[in-house]
Amino acid sequence: MKVRKGVFLVAGLGTRTLPAAKSIPKVMLPLADKPAIQYVVEEAVAAGIEQVILVTAAGNQAVEDYFDTAYRLEESLAARGKQKELAELQALKELATVIGVRQHAPLGTGDAIRTARSVVGNEPFAVFLPDDVIDGEPPAIRQLMDVHEAHGGEVVAVMSVPHDHVDRYGIVEGTPVAAGIQRLQSLIEKPPVCEAPSNLAIVGRYVFTPAIFDYIDRTPAGAGGEIQVTDAINTLAQEGPVYSCEFTGRRYDMGDKVGYLSASIDLALKRPDLRPGLAAYLRGLDLDNMDPTP
């Protein structure tokens, strides 16, 4: 069955992105001139996702508003003949059908995903952690959807990370079935470096069958006292097929300040309208003679 729905977990508190994320959701922080969430939604739409389900929380209304009509703004742009800006806002609204659901407490990724259960219904679906912005062609989630269509089951995105970083990620262990694809035996959330079974880390893209919801319901709180979707997938992997897909593309971690800045620069350099000015500025930087402010 075709994957038509994407669940986007945007309810995070943004503690790694403070102070910027104190009063705006971290996924609304701009990369070049668009909020991070827009890149992730564009990735989904390019992959064929038709319905965007935003899992929000109190204080995150800005994310839903961003994909909604801004009536006063649009009326004012129309009155002033600003057709280009108006068309841009129109295109944003036409990207996909957007539905918001609320997570009532920060109880973890597993809990956030099950918040979307009634909207997802009984069909396979994609999940996006928009902290991970991925610049890939084909879109990273499309690569996972292809694995799901070929093999069935659940699919998680993975990439190699340095061994001493494994305690920041969900880590997988599996047996190769094709180039870049493994059938997983186990998944463990943020293991200590000495206990990690590999250095293949989960990145925030998943394709799930509706079976995942029952496994989440059976999952007790794990790492950080939260209901971790990694634990639910690990239990499911003992009973049914779960695959990892080592996607091609560049992943930026929005929760890491250097990752965020790198994404902003790289994505702006890919834009024909921004590249000439920004490239000239970067070429002119005399990095060795710029003192960091203490």
202 binds ligand G1P (CB under 6 A): yes
Residue 254 beta carbon to ligand G1P: minimum distance, rounded to whole angstroms: 9
Judged by beta carbon, residue 77 or residue 159, the one nearer ligand G1P is 159
Residues 136-165 that bind ligand G1P (CB under 6 A): none
For residues 153 and 46, give the distance between their C-alpha atoms in angstroms, rounded to a whole number: 22
Q: How many CA atoms lie within 13 A of 196 on its CB side?
A: 23
- The helix (H) or strand (E) run that includes residue 8 is strand 5-9
Judged by beta carbon, residue 77 or residue 196, the one nearer ligand G1P is 196
Structure tokens that stand for 66 in this block: 């961003």
Applying CB under 6 A, among 184, 189, 242, 254 the residue interacting with ligand G1P is 189
Structure tokens that stand for 268 in this block: 């702006």
Judged by beta carbon, residue 31 or residue 129, the one nearer ligand G1P is 129
Site size toward ligand G1P (CB under 6 A) is 13
Judged by beta carbon, residue 109 or residue 244, the one nearer ligand G1P is 109
- The mark string for 214-243 relative to ligand G1P (x by CB under 6 A, - otherwise) is --------------x-x-------------
Taking Cα atoms as reference points, which of 186, 182, 172 lies closest to residue 234? 186
- The mark string for 166-185 relative to ligand G1P (x by CB under 6 A, - otherwise) is ---xx---------------
- The helix (H) or strand (E) run that includes residue 257 is helix 257-269
Applying CB under 6 A, among 204, 209, 215, 232 the residue interacting with ligand G1P is 204
201 binds ligand G1P (CB under 6 A): yes
Interior CA angle at 24 toward 161 and 120, to 5°?
Answer: 70
Q: What are phi and psi of 192, to 5 degrees?
A: -60, 150
Distance from the first to the final alpha carbon of the chain: 56
What residue type is assigned to position 131 of the chain?
Answer: D
- Maximum C-alpha span of the chain: 63
**Hey, which residues does 184 pair with through a beta bridge?**
174
Are 201 and 177 within 8 A, CB to CB?
no
Judged by beta carbon, residue 129 or residue 245, the one nearer ligand G1P is 129
Residues 106-135 that bind ligand G1P (CB under 6 A): 109, 129, 131-132
103 binds ligand G1P (CB under 6 A): no
Structure tokens that stand for 210 in this block: 């509706």
Judged by beta carbon, residue 103 or residue 230, the one nearer ligand G1P is 230
Judged by beta carbon, residue 126 or residue 203, the one nearer ligand G1P is 203
Give the binding site for ligand G1P (CB under 6 A).
109, 129, 131-132, 169-170, 189, 201-204, 228, 230
